[in-house]
A and B are shown apart, each in its own frame.
Chain A
Amino acid sequence: MHIATDFWTWVAALLTLAILSFLWDDNSFYRAAEHLYIGVANGYSITLIWYNVVVPNMIDPLRGAAHVVSEQGFAAAFFTFNEHNVLNPYHDNNFFIIIPMMVGALYVTRFIPSISWMIRIPIGITMGYYTAISIPASFKASIVRQLEASILSRSDFDSAWVLVYGLLIFVTTVATLIYFFFSAEHKGVLRPISNIGILTVMVGFGASFGLTVMARISLAIGRFIFIFKDWLGMVQ
């Protein structure tokens, strides 16, 4: 048994035990660890975003642009082009960054009731951009290609198992879609098909539950390995 001598391993181990103590009952050790976690996570994220996003994407270009203005004039700090003669918003020393900065700053207007309507501008731009970019991409990747994969094709008849598998996907897809088709009453021929659909959905839920259990156990195992191997050194 070789107990860790590293200070931070001890901190991590004691905090792990403090969090796990909630399983017994709520207590002050758990609450202290929880508050510490939230504080550290927020501080870590804010610092990282400041140095990895705000400084390189906002402060540095503005500082560089100010330098360019002093040496080459105002126009040079606005129009920076890449090797293909395309305006390059990522380039250093670019005053164009002021435009998205101002649009982004409109989010703060939410706190000023008289001009809070201006928050709709950045929200509208963001929604418009993401909607336009995601509809065709998602339609192609998640609908068209999935439909193609559900349709029986010549390759599905290559072997008996492939055929069984292809038929299973075809039948369960159609049955599940019919189960969620609410414009007609589920009676007559629709009834047995929708029953297959609900059975398929239940099998899916069962698989998801099993996988969820597996995932949660993996996380607990990760912590126990850390305690017994990395901290207490009970495992070689």
Chain B
Amino acid sequence: MENKTIWTRMMNIDRRIIYVIVAIVMILPIIFPFNLPMRVSKRTTQALFDAIDNFPSENGVFLISADLSPQDQPELYPMLVSWIRHCFHRDIKVLVMCLYPTSLGLAEQALNQVATEFNNRASTGIGRRVVYGEDFVFLGYKPPPIVPILGLGENIYEVYPRDFYGNDLRTLPMMVSKRIKSYRDMDMIGSIAANSLPITYVAYAQARFGIRVTGGVTAVSVADFYPYLDSGQLTGMLEGMKGAAEYEQLIVEKFPEDNGRRMATEGMSAQSSTHIAIILMILLGNVCYFMQRRHEKRGI
């Protein structure tokens, strides 16, 4: 029978044991959450929060391109909810559009969720009511992406004659009172996507029409966007669940009356504990590898 050292056995450990360890480390903080201090990133989250916070509240219009899908919901959905909350708190008008069909349900759900939050609070005398057509408009889905991205620079009504619910866009009070016709009448585009869409907005909408662009992206794609953040082409950015949690924190600090569910913050203690576990496992794996090699050299 082959004489295996502990290092060899550790190197050939059943992957399912690692899954169980990761699951335990992840689940325990969800059931018994603990608070770790969270530092808000100045270049990304804070820069974006400040940019939206400095919109002129009476005339501010924020176009959100909500291109999330169920598989990236835990990272991107809290960002969308946070942006809508921030805009409603500041009385900034919100336009939401989708470039992919799978985003429609989530985008509509986020708008309804935040509108219900605000209206429930308003019924208790806190804050103000928000009304569809006056405070926000859901444009729906129009493919292919390049058509609405370029078309909105010319005339929004030619690309979206009707909103998602079939209303004539020209008749909606928000579109009339703010005279929204193209990017020229908007303050910023926020692209929430798990792909390179924020760069597409930079290339087509910003380069051609000069509008500011920001992004809410998944952590796996963040590295692709840093050069655009560094060059000033992106005005701040939200990076995965961590960025969404930071934004939720900034909203609660600025608007303490906001009692909405903080979905990204709920996951941050589990995120931290799992990261620590993975770092320890990487270190352990390397120690085992070098010890095994050492034993092999000695001929053990």
Contacts and interface: CB of A to CB of B under 8 A. Distances in A.
Contacts of A112: none
Given A215-B219, A217-B271, A222-B74, A140 B101 contact: no
Contacts of B199: 141-142
Interface in B20-64: 22-23, 26-27, 30-31, 33
A207 B223 CA distance: 7
A142 B30 contact: no
Contacts of A221: 26, 30, 74, 241, 267, 270-271, 274
A220 B142 CA distance: 31
Nearest to A222: B74
Contacts of B203: 134, 137-138, 140-142
Interface stretch (A115-123, A144-152, A190-198): A144-152
Interface string B131-167: 0000000001111001000100001001101100000
Contact of B102 (A44, A140, A207, A215): A44
Contacts of A82: 155, 158
A214 B244 CA distance: 13
B293 interface: no
A229 interface: yes
B119 interface: no
A188 B16 CA distance: 50
B223 A145 contact: no
Interface stretch (A47-55, A65-73, A174-182): A47-55
B227 A215 contact: no
A196 B227 CA distance: 19
A228 interface: yes
A221 B30 CA distance: 8
Interface string B196-239: 00010011101110000000001110110001101111000001
B168 to A, nearest CB: 11
B267 A225 contact: yes
A23 B227 contact: no
Contacts, number: 144
Nearest to A213: B278
Interface in B246-275: 263, 266-267, 270-271, 274-275
Contact of A211 (B26, B219, B270): B219
B207 A52 contact: no
B75 A228 contact: no
A82 B181 CA distance: 14
A30 to B, nearest CB: 14
Given A137-B204, A219-B72, A224-B30, A169 B230 contact: yes
Contacts of A149: 227, 230-232
Contacts of B161: 90-92
Contact of A212 (B23, B102, B220, B267): B220
A229 B101 contact: no
Contacts of A88: 158
A211 B242 CA distance: 11
A214 B31 contact: no
A141 B27 CA distance: 43
Contact of B202 (A141, A204, A211, A235): A141
Contacts of B104: 48, 52
Contacts of B150: 133
8 contacts: A137-B204, A141-B206, A146-B227, A149-B227, A204-B223, A214-B240, A222-B75, A225-B266
Interface of A: 23-24, 41, 44-45, 48-49, 52-53, 56, 82, 88, 90-92, 130, 133-134, 137-138, 140-142, 145-146, 148-149, 169, 204, 207-208, 211-225, 228-229, 234-235
Interface of B: 16, 19, 22-23, 26-27, 30-31, 33, 71-75, 101-102, 104, 140-143, 146, 150, 155, 158-159, 161-162, 199, 202-204, 206-208, 218-220, 222-223, 227-228, 230-233, 239-242, 263, 266-267, 270-271, 274-275, 278
9 tightest A-B CB contacts, nearest first: A222-B74, A149-B231, A215-B219, A215-B220, A141-B203, A48-B101, A218-B241, A221-B267, A137-B203
